Amino acid sequence: MGCCPSHGIAGCERRTQFCCRCDGSCHAGCTRRYNGAGTAGANDLKGAEEMKIIQVATLISPSGEYGGPVRVAVNQTRELLAAGHDVLLAAGAQGFGRRLPSEFDGVPVMLFEAFNPVPKTGFSGLVAPALQKWLKTAVKSADVAHIHLSRDLVTLPAATEVRRRKLPYVLQTHGMITPSNHPLAGTVDAVWTKRALEGADTIFYLTPQERLGLSNVTRAPLNLKELHNGVPETRGTLATAEAAIEVLFLARLHSRKRPLMFVAMAKALHSKYPDVRFSIVGPDGGEGPAIEIAIRKSGMGDALRWEGALSPEDTTSRINRSTIYVLPSVDEPFPMSVLEALSLGKPVVVTDSCGLAAAITEASAGTVIDSSLESLVVSIDRLLANPDYRKSVGVRARVLAEQKFSMKAVCDQLQLAYSISSGAS
């Protein structure tokens, strides 16, 4: 039986027609057959209901520094594949070396070298010219594109390309497109952002604040739809009184995430709970040197550690080994790490500016605090001092994730939007 050279899977059961390294000649015996140029044949699994979808994200890397938007794109791709669609996630890439993978966290990807032509411009200055070139051909056999849009030079040109090629597309902005005072924002919006928004069939937003921000970027009418992030069903280990207790911060070490406040909280509680571990996991986002200094000065030894970056496919198991998950960020739209912790039955602590705060409060699935260090210390103290309370909060956390943030509900909403965009309904 044939084998797709891109994905190396016997019988090509995971093959996608967008793969530019496969000419289709190996697909005579495939479970899912395609005609020569990659168009759907008569033996498709779901006939007209099956769609060919390109997802586009800014950056995929082994250390996962781009965070939530990529996690969302991976989860959506996996769920859409399970629903019988043909999906490929395309993105810029860094950190893999010369040979880019064709699979990431279990889903098929098409990756292209990303780099910053201008130093110190961060994610917004990334470019991936080969991705734009690939899109010119890939859109010909696609039904719809789903672009995880930010003000960067990867996803904005991608939106321009699919619009130019008249491929229907939807956008998901993850709280990243709002009115900005940055000196270049006006120019970027005039050249790229407004046209991308105005040409989209649907724009998915997370919070009412994001909806308002999108409406203020352009005066043109937009088809804005609320879409929550979802989390795959998991089975974590609920904390017990006998287990080693660990309080975990897992996020990029950026000032907005406030990892230094996590260190300050750990120092405040260490004398009362000397056997509790306080762990920081994530890539440096600018606060790394300060965190290293703060940890050294704390005098806590192994009770307080920064473990460094972690591969995205390992984050779920790492959260599962913890007891309490803490994200003291401000203005965090809809953090995937918190959703994963909830699904694993972990009590979570977030600030009142987090997009998940209302749901967590309503379900009593964690603690919502203000932005002060005092409130963070008090909330963690209560969870550490009361094992039964901690366990009951964890049970409610898992129920919340299962009932309100399932991937099936996300997939159903995406399929409807894609069908309307592509005219398949």
Rounded to whole angstroms, the Cα distance separating 105 from 115 reads 22
Closest by CA to 372, choosing from 386, 352, 358, is: 352
Q: Give the start-to-end residue ranges of the domains of the chain.
A: 1-44, 47-230+407-422, 246-404
Long-range contacts formed by 374-381: CB under 8 A, 24+ apart: 376/261, 376/262, 376/265, 376/326, 376/328, 376/349, 377/265, 377/268, 377/269, 379/349, 380/247, 380/265, 380/269, 380/324, 380/326, 380/349, 381/269, 381/272
Query: Do the domains 246-404 and 47-230+407-422 match in fold?
Result: yes
**Tokens 């009593």, residue located:** 364
Structure tokens at 210: 């994001």
As its CATH architecture, domain 246-404 has 3-Layer(aba) Sandwich (3.40)
Contact 293, 319 (CB under 8 A): no
Long-range contacts formed by 378-384: CB under 8 A, 24+ apart: 379/349, 380/247, 380/265, 380/269, 380/324, 380/326, 380/349, 381/269, 381/272, 383/324, 383/347, 383/349, 384/245, 384/247, 384/269, 384/273, 384/276, 384/324
Q: For 288-347, list the strands marked E by DSSP.
A: 304-306, 324-327
For the entire predicted model, the pTM comes to 0.74
Residue 30: predicted pLDDT: 35
Class of domain 47-230+407-422: alpha beta
Closest by CA to 249, choosing from 228, 271, 264, 234, is: 264
Rounded to whole angstroms, the Cα distance separating 132 from 158 reads 6
Residue 244: predicted pLDDT: 87
Residue 163: predicted pLDDT: 95
Per-residue pLDDT of the chain (425 residues; tens, 9 = 90+): 333 433 333 333 434 445 443 433 333 333 332 233 333 333 333 333 799 999 999 999 998 878 889 999 999 999 999 999 999 999 999 999 989 999 999 999 999 999 999 988 888 889 999 999 999 999 999 999 999 999 999 999 999 999 999 999 999 999 888 778 777 778 888 888 999 999 999 999 998 889 999 998 998 999 999 998 998 877 555 544 446 899 999 999 999 999 999 999 999 999 999 999 999 999 998 999 999 999 999 999 999 999 999 888 899 999 999 999 999 999 888 898 999 999 999 999 999 999 899 999 999 999 999 999 999 999 999 999 999 999 999 999 999 999 899 999 899 999 999 999 887 54
For 219, the 3-state DSSP assignment is: coil
